[in-house]
């Protein structure tokens, strides 16, 4: 499809008025669900995501148990009403893949060896979708894990970068994702800059890739600050806490 919309205008502004290195607005709240051991509500631009953590608890079915460590089961799910054309409820190939890469990313930071034979279930529900849901979901999952008191080396965080109208930019919006040239979601452990998740589709030169990766990592650090603030906000608001 030929695009008849200009993704970047003459002043270097993008469709939603952002500059190339500007993130969409991120809002995070920790501990929003009563039943969950830890939870998080996150808005990232037009994305609205809830994450809930249950566990560590006995891994069922038992053959999934690992005698040496816990398994982390992330389940990414989109609400039927979260997209333009209603999505059929339940997992599809896309959400299974996203669930898998998120699980693997989280397993890297969680101290799984503390909980042999257990499962830590991380449920990510996308309520409203507008490009970048896996990054939003993983970022919410990081806060929910911390809220659940799961021991971790770090709070994982994600952000995407991409290429639109020949230019490398951070955090693609909806049209940018549909009509852009490349999308590169990245998750990191912000303390060490280890990369926990990396996917790419589209077309980038090596130089562009390096630039995009740097931008995405920069975005991760910005989002990480908001994550930490959300957790602090929750525990500071508890009576008697300093």
Partner 1 sequence: MSIVPLIKRDYISKLAEQGKRVDGRRFDEYRKIEIETNVVNKAEGSARVKIGNTQVLTGIKMAVGEPYSDSPESGVLTTAAELIPLASPDFEAGPPRENAIELARVVDRGVRESEVVELDKLCLEPGEKVWVVFIDIHILDYDGNLFDAASLASLAALYTTTVPAARFELGEDYPLSLKEPPISCTSVKFDNFVVMDPSLDEEEIADARLTVATDKNGDIRAMQKGLNGSFTKEEIQKVIKASLDTGREIRKQLSESTGK
Q: Which of 27, 81, 149, 205 binds partner 1 (CB under 8 A)?
A: 81
Cα separation, 51 vs 198, in Å, equals 21
Q: Which DSSP letter does residue 197 get?
A: E
Stretch that binds partner 1, among 101-109, 128-136, 145-153, 212-220 (CB under 8 A): 128-136
Interface with partner 1, residue 89, by CB under 8 A:
yes
Instruction: Rule CB under 8 A: say whether 134 interacts with partner 1.
Output: no
Strand 26-30 relative to strand 38-44, pairing:
antiparallel
Asked if residue 80 binds partner 1 (CB under 8 A), the reply is yes
Q: Which residues sit opposite 194 in a β-bridge?
A: 189
Contact 56, 70 (CB under 8 A): yes
Nearest Cα residue to 212 out of 172, 242, 168, 181: 168
Instruction: Find the binder of partner 1 among 33, 195, 198, 200 (CB under 8 A).
Output: 33
Report the SS3 class of residue 57. Answer: strand
Say whether residue 128 binds partner 1 (CB under 8 A).
yes
* Residues sharing a CB contact under 8 Å with residue 225, sequence separation 6 or more, in sequence order: none
Binding test (CB under 8 A) with partner 1, winner from 20, 23, 83, 195? 83
127 binds partner 1 (CB under 8 A): yes
Q: How far is the CB of 169 from partner 1 (least distance, A)?
A: 23
Where do contacts with partner 1 occur on this chain (CB under 8 A)?
A: 33-36, 46, 48, 50-52, 54, 57, 75, 77, 79-86, 89-91, 121, 123-125, 127-130
């Amino acid at each position: 499809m030929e695009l008849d919309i200009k993704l970047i205008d003459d002043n270097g502004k993008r469709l939603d008025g952002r500059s190339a290195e500007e993130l969409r607005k991120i809002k995070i709240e920790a501990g929003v669900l009563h039943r969950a051991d830890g939870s998080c509500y996150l808005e990232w631009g037009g994305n609205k995501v809830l994450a809930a953590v249950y566990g560590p608890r006995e891994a069922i079915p038992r053959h999934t148990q690992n005698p040496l460590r816990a398994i982390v089961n992330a389940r990414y799910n989109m609400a039927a009403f979260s997209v333009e054309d209603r999505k059929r409820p339940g997992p599809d190939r896309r959400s299974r893949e996203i669930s898998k890469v998120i699980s693997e990313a989280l397993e890297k930071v969680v101290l799984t060896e503390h909980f042999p034979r257990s499962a830590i279930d991380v449920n990510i529900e996308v309520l409203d979708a507008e490009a970048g849901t896996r990054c939003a979901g993983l970022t919410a999952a990081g806060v929910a894990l911390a809220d659940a008191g799961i021991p971790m080396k770090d709070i994982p965080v994600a952000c995407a970068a991409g290429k639109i109208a020949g230019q490398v930019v951070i955090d693609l919006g909806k049209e940018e994702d549909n009509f852009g040239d490349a999308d590169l979601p990245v998750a990191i452990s912000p303390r060490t800059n280890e990369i926990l998740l990396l996917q790419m589709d589209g077309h980038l030169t090596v130089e562009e890739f390096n630039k995009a990766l740097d931008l995405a990592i920069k975005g991760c650090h910005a989002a990480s600050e908001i994550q930490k603030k959300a957790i602090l906000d929750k525990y500071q608001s508890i009576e008697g806490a300093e």
